[in-house]
Structure 1
Amino acid sequence: MTIAAGIDIGNSTTEVLLARVGRGEVDVLADATAPTRRSKGSAESLDGAVSLLRRLERRSGLSVEVAVAAPLRPVDTAATTLPEPEQTTGRLRLVASGSRTVGGEGSGIGRPVLVNGHALSVDGSDAVVAVVPRGVAYQAVLEPLRALASGGRLMAVVMAEDEAVLLGNRLAGRVPVIDEVPTDQMLDAVRVAAEVRPAGTPLRDLADPLQLVAQLGLRETDRADAARLSARLRDASNAVIALSEVMPAAEVSPAAWFEIDSADGRRCLLLASENDALRDAPVGAAHAYGLPPAVSRRKVDDLFAVDLGVVADTVVARSGAQRSRAVALSMLHADSPYRDPGDALADRLGVAVQTVASEATAARAGGISTPGAEQTALVVDIGGGTIDVVAAGENVVAAGGGQLLTISVAALTGATPAAAEWVKRGPAVRVETPHLLLGEDGSREFLDRPAGRETVGSLAVRGPAGLLPFDRTHAPGEWRALRLRLKADALGANVARAVRTLNERPTTVVLVGGPVGDDEVLASVARALPSGVAVGRGNAAGMLGHRYGVAYGLLLSLLRS
């Protein structure tokens, strides 16, 4: 019997098994897992694997005589945040919406007038909207504004500084005051409209296209633009709109794109309905992409992306909850091929290291050792960077895995990637008070010890050191819908894409890999596959669980050799 090590270096984590191998048996003696150092296949990742193995040797009192590993290929996963695609609104322009601090209440429309603390003389007797630029405090403009208000001419105030509450409390009447507005974009307008409603109350006038047409005196050609703009304000409680004399020139921003095999060889935009082409096309169809600002062409062997704006739109997230549109991508770059780690590991370990043909074949060997799995079962290895779908004689390796989910959660919530690793795993709660948690299903939980003050009013999950706050924008039920949809799009749809590429119609699918421990991921994959397919979590050798499928498969390869 030989003491052997199965070393599985992944994009996110590294797993090592120690076993006695021989006489047709693999007797597992010890196991360990740790985060992968740097990128998969790097010198640091090999050093980390060796360190983990040495730790197992010390713990078990054994010395490895031979090791086995698989070829390594890194996957790059990233998120790029782009401005929300603007619908053309002609002469109308949304200057600001959703300011966190406002004063007064109601709506007002008028000619924009600069009020900067100097002597003020406003010609005419028409209604005006005061524009207070950056660097001007409310005390400097209070008296001129009071004079305009007493004459019945002041309809609203928009200001750059965060002083709307202070100013609104000192103006007579209910003049709407909105702050943190880019005032430099307003003085060339012919009319400005502003509206403030109580927090959580939707706008009435600016969200009504007929009111916009009537009160701004719009032309018939502006009617469709008014409808498009007002639709963006239905969940806002304050907003500022500017009307120009002529339609401003459109700003052209660099677009994110990918190239995909098609009849016309066209480029597809990542921020468009064309993004569905990645979901529908086979693995390997995408062969290049470009991201702003450089938009330089980068070749890939496969690419998968998730438009997080579409995810939010699909579950009817509140307008304004996502202030920009992020796209999460996983890329198998053409200039990062598979590398054999055998010699480098052998040098570090001082023992012979065998390299199997592929990680996918090891995953299959470990996966079908699951009790209840058929020998003809399809094995799906959901790793940190790739999804490997493996049949008896062939396999497909698709870009995208657990890291794509992590970075998508981080982009949607504003959490750090480290926090997103915990956030993505399951249900969250909102900390209503230091002693009360509100669940996603409306349930309430009372705490014996008060939660930290930083968590109150935030969504939170239970992390390694207690409640981990991560989001103050979404409601608990809204976040649940977003999270489940994200898992369906980032993982379920990608598994279905790879299965279609393999042209398999399985009756049984065995899932292995770290992300499979998430019950919601298991359900997302099952829903993405045809009805009647038995989808289950792997349990290598009937005792090692889902995470060690590849490492156990590597050890099994020693029996064949």
Structure 2
Amino acid sequence: MKIIAGIDIGNATTEVALARVTDSEIKFLGSSLYKTTGLKGTEENIEGIKKAIFSLLEKLDFKLEDLDLIRINEATPVIGDVSMETITETIITESTMIGHNPDTPGGCGIGIGLTINIDNLKELKCSLLDEEYIVIANKDKNFLEIAKILNSEINRGVKIKGAILQRDDGVLVNNRLLIKIPIVDEVQLIEKIPLGVKCCIEVAEKGRVIEKISNPYGIATIFNLTSEETKKVVPLSKALIGNRSGVVIKTPQGDVKEKIIPAGNIYIKGCKTTEEVGIQEGAEKIMEKISFLNVQDIFGEDGTNVGGMLRNVKNTMSKFTGENIEDIKIKDLLAVDTFVPQRIKGGLAGEFMLENAVGLAVMVGTEKNQMENLARLIKSELGIEVEVGGVEADMAIKGALTTPGTGKPLAIIDIGAGSTDACSIDKFGRKAHTHLAGAGNMVTLLIQKELGVENFNLAEDIKKYPLAKVESFFHIRYEDGSVQFFNEPLSPSIYAKNVLVKNGELIPIDIQNTLERIRDIRRESKRRVFVANSERALKKISLTKNIRDFEFVIIVGGSALDFEIPEMITEALSKYGVVAGCGNIRGIEGPRNAVATGLVLGDREC
């Protein structure tokens, strides 16, 4: 009799299965998991392995000396990375227009005039009263002072056609004016507005949106732009589409400049040929090139965004493995079309526009398997016999087949943080496996970029947990329409806000998007990565490239615990006539522990 621990060192988590093994029987005693420390297959893994083993031994009241053997998985370390490359490279340059969209403008209509500081109004001589003005007022003055000065100057004959305020006082000032004008407020960087230049303010009526300055030809009409200048203001006009208010200022030539780093081209090297595709051609074209090539390596154009990103991934792998960077190859890439908020160069309050972009996830493998070396290090650290137990895909199949109700031919989809792995076994015992770029981290990036969320952890939570709207102090409405009531009043800090329901706690989301919009982005991001990659992986491991070859498909891995991913994948695969669903390893573990369980089973027949 032996006590054997199977340890699956993954890219994100390290999982352990412990069993008592005899010639005739295997009795599993328990399992545990801990986050993987360091890059998979490196010495840094030992700390996470120790944490996972000791927590399990303590739970079972075992000692380290009780262990007879440790088996670890045989797998080449891989590293995944994600990046977002914008298709449109130029935002605004040189003769720049500056736009803004406050939430609470004052008045309505269009105002055109020269910018002037409110303190300089009193210095205007009679000869200058024929000009029309847009007044600038910073936070030093409150709404009462501003309204008093404006009314006084209007009575003196000054033609004030609009105002730009730093404070959130637009409505308060407008309510006190003798003659109503459009007012834009909450302009954070008001000191950057040049004085004495032509400016246009537009505020729409409630329930409507601006029309003049959200149209590039409208801006061209106001500022007498040439055709070339009109092309440059297209991003600004796009940024103001759908807004209730905005301000556009023509700054002096060359006042705002930006350095352009092009998105660049991707080069996909096959066995016989190398294909070139530009980021600007979009994700569909990129994936089309990848699909018909036996990819040997992928690299980017020097001096571009994508070139730097792909080079950085190879540098990271080289650092961890000690291999020459030229020997490290990118084996797969997933491209996804998306939209990202782009900050407008020269903006005064973080103005942005939604721009087309391509999300990229890449995966790098090396030819150097470091697991034998890691096994020696673990043995030296723990004093326990350690062996490399077998190819990870084989072990995953053995573990997955302990799910009740499964059989051959079987395919497994293992969705992790950086990669989507798949392996299969047919009725004759023939096996196949593949590793593809793109998984949980890619989905988080898409959510983060499309919603304009700066905090990665918040985007991760949006991916993992359902949404709700706090509709009163005593009830919330979930994204599916169901309602939950509370006996005690909810905190005023979350009243009328969108929240995440995380382990029974309501976490407010301070994002300028509706609940429906956040939900749509979350679900669409998952479909474009998890569902698309699952179908891509199954076709790669099918002998005929047909998903119908499989009777059973089991979803395993950390992402299979997601509250909606298994349902999405199951629905997508239903059209192929396969039995697809979330795994339940050994009937008790759910989708976790497949490889660790397979390592304990060892050479026993599937």
In the superposition, the TM-score normalised over structure 1's length comes to 0.82
Amino acid at match of 1:550: V
Find the aligned partners of 1:328 and 1:189 in 2 and give their Cα distance. 43
Q: Deviations over 1:451-480 (max 9, x none)?
A: 333333332222246112234322222222
Residue in 2 aligned with 1:492? 531
Amino acid at match of 1:276: E
Residue in 2 aligned with 1:202? 209
Distance change (3 Å), C-alpha of 1:421 and 1:139 = same
Find the aligned partners of 1:196 and 1:456 in 2 and give their Cα distance. 29
Kept in 1, the 8 Å contact 2:402–2:586? The answer is: yes
SS class of match (1:51): helix
Find the aligned partners of 1:297 and 1:471 in 2 and give their Cα distance. 35
Of 257, 263, 268, the residue aligned with 2:278 is 268
Kept in 1, the 8 Å contact 2:442–2:529? The answer is: yes
Q: Does 1:556 align with 2:604?
A: no
Find the aligned partners of 1:459 and 1:336 in 2 and give their Cα distance. 48
Distance change (3 Å), C-alpha of 1:418 and 1:184 = closer
Of 128, 150, 161, the residue aligned with 2:133 is 128
Q: Does 1:344 align with 2:386?
A: no
Residue in 1 aligned with 2:433? 395
Kept in 2, the 8 Å contact 1:278–1:304? The answer is: no
Q: Does 1:297 align with 2:297?
A: no
Distance change (3 Å), C-alpha of 1:51 and 1:258 = farther
Q: Does 1:331 align with 2:365?
A: no
Find the aligned partners of 1:387 and 1:293 in 2 and give their Cα distance. 24
Distance change (3 Å), C-alpha of 1:312 and 1:158 = closer
Distance change (3 Å), C-alpha of 1:427 and 1:51 = closer
How many pairs are equivalent?
Answer: 553
Residue in 2 aligned with 1:40? 40
Q: Deviations over 1:213-249 (max 9, x none)?
A: 6666667888888887655433211111235798999
Structural mapping, 1:325-474, within 5 Å: 329-333=360-364, 338-340=369-371, 341-392=374-425, 393-413=431-451, 414=453, 416-464=455-503, 466-474=505-513
Distance change (3 Å), C-alpha of 1:468 and 1:293 = farther
Amino acid at match of 1:536: G
Kept in 2, the 8 Å contact 1:25–1:559? The answer is: no
Find the aligned partners of 2:121 and 2:341 in 1 and give their Cα distance. 46
SS class of match (2:493): helix
Residue in 2 aligned with 1:108? 111
SS class of match (2:130): coil
Please say which of residues 69-78 and 478-487 is displaced more in the overlay. Answer: 69-78
Of 65, 87, 101, the residue aligned with 2:68 is 65
SS class of match (2:405): coil
Kept in 2, the 8 Å contact 1:110–1:155? The answer is: yes
Find the aligned partners of 1:33 and 1:15 in 2 and give their Cα distance. 4
Find the aligned partners of 1:499 and 1:67 in 2 and give their Cα distance. 31
Residue in 1 aligned with 2:584? 539
Residue in 2 aligned with 1:317? none
CA apart distance, 1:330: 3.7
CA apart distance, 1:547: 0.9
SS class of match (1:40): coil
**Root-mean-square deviation over aligned CA pairs:** 4.1
Kept in 2, the 8 Å contact 1:426–1:520? The answer is: no
Kept in 1, the 8 Å contact 2:111–2:161? The answer is: yes
Amino acid at match of 2:583: G
Kept in 2, the 8 Å contact 1:278–1:286? The answer is: no
Structure 2 gap ranges (5+): 315-328, 343-350, 426-430
Residue in 2 aligned with 1:240? 247
Q: Deviations over 1:500-544 (max 9, x none)?
A: 333532333221111112242123334555822422222223333
CA apart distance, 1:26: 2.9
Find the aligned partners of 1:261 and 1:136 in 2 and give their Cα distance. 60
Kept in 1, the 8 Å contact 2:106–2:170? The answer is: yes
Kept in 1, the 8 Å contact 2:204–2:245? The answer is: yes
Amino acid at match of 1:386: S
Q: Deviations over 1:427-468 (max 9, x none)?
A: 310123332212223343322223333333332222246112
Find the aligned partners of 2:341 and 2:296 in 1 and give their Cα distance. 26
Amino acid at match of 2:471: E
Structure 1 gap ranges (5+): 314-319
Residue in 1 aligned with 2:546? 505
SS class of match (1:394): strand
In the superposition, the TM-score normalised over structure 2's length comes to 0.77
CA apart distance, 1:64: 1.8
Distance change (3 Å), C-alpha of 1:47 and 1:87 = closer
Please say which of residues 145-154 and 219-228 is displaced more in the overlay. Answer: 219-228
Q: Does 1:177 align with 2:187?
A: no
Of 162, 172, 182, the residue aligned with 1:156 is 162
Distance change (3 Å), C-alpha of 1:86 and 1:360 = same
CA apart distance, 1:264: 6.2
Of 305, 310, 335, the residue aligned with 2:339 is 310
Amino acid at match of 1:424: K
Distance change (3 Å), C-alpha of 1:268 and 1:364 = farther
SS class of match (1:266): strand
Residue in 1 aligned with 2:558? 514
Distance change (3 Å), C-alpha of 1:226 and 1:278 = closer
